[in-house]
Amino acid sequence: MSEDAKTEVPAKKKGKMLKLLLAGVGVVALVGGGAAAGLYFANGGLAQGGAMAKPDQPQLVLKGEQKQAAGAEGGEGGAAPAKGEGGESGSKYASTYYQLEKEFTSNLRNSAHFIQVGLAVSTNYDGRVIKNVESNELAVRSAVLMTLSDTDETQVFTPEGKRQLQSRLVAAINQVLREKEGFGGIGNVYFTNFIVQ
């Protein structure tokens, strides 16, 4: 046997081993990926629109289902289904509005002025979100007052500042609802009254 023949045999064995090893890794990756995809679909995945539905939490309500959800989930007590075609931003989901009964009055941060606002909230979820707002209204009112008192005087005089205040109020209310009920669900806050003195 020549020396070339001796070196050729181990190189062929190495190449064959490498191919077998890569094929084995490929098979394991395919089987693992298939199993992961199967579990994803079995648990809701794309088969339910990509959102993991949890039956114990509020669900989004499509506009066609709006009247059923308001009646079935107790949409009374100040909550009213959205009227008109567009809803919020032309969304395919129904909007439910709820006006908080009492107005909010607070001093502004580092200012002698105070603010008085009336608020309404909206949600695209079923009536459980509005029920959560109603049952936790004291905590919600406290969070709103804390947010108002942390508002700078210059912010309340501009449209952009008012929009920022709306966003902060949504975040504060949702934080209370998540802490108390495990789910937020408020999509927007609307000013029904806005006075700065």
Give dist(CA 94, CA 75) in Å, integer. 13
Give dist(CA 20, CA 4) in Å, integer. 25
Is the pLDDT assigned to residue 72 strictly greater than 90?
A: no
pTM of the model: 0.63
Are the beta carbons of 124 and 60 closer than 8 angstroms?
yes
Contacts of 2 (CB under 8 A, 6+ apart): none
pLDDT-wise least confident of 55-59, 66-70, 154-158, 175-179: 66-70
CATH fold, domain 63-196, is: Tetrahydropterin Synthase; Chain A (3.30.479)
Specify the pLDDT at position 45: 46
Mean pLDDT of 8-30: 70
Higher pLDDT, 4 or 103: 103
Burial 126-163 (b: 16+ CB within 10 A, else e): bbbbbbbbbebeebbbebbeebbeebebebbeeeeeee
Pull the structure tokens for residue 62: 């499509």
What are the pLDDT digits (tens) for 88-135?
456 789 999 999 999 999 999 999 999 999 999 999 999 999 999 999
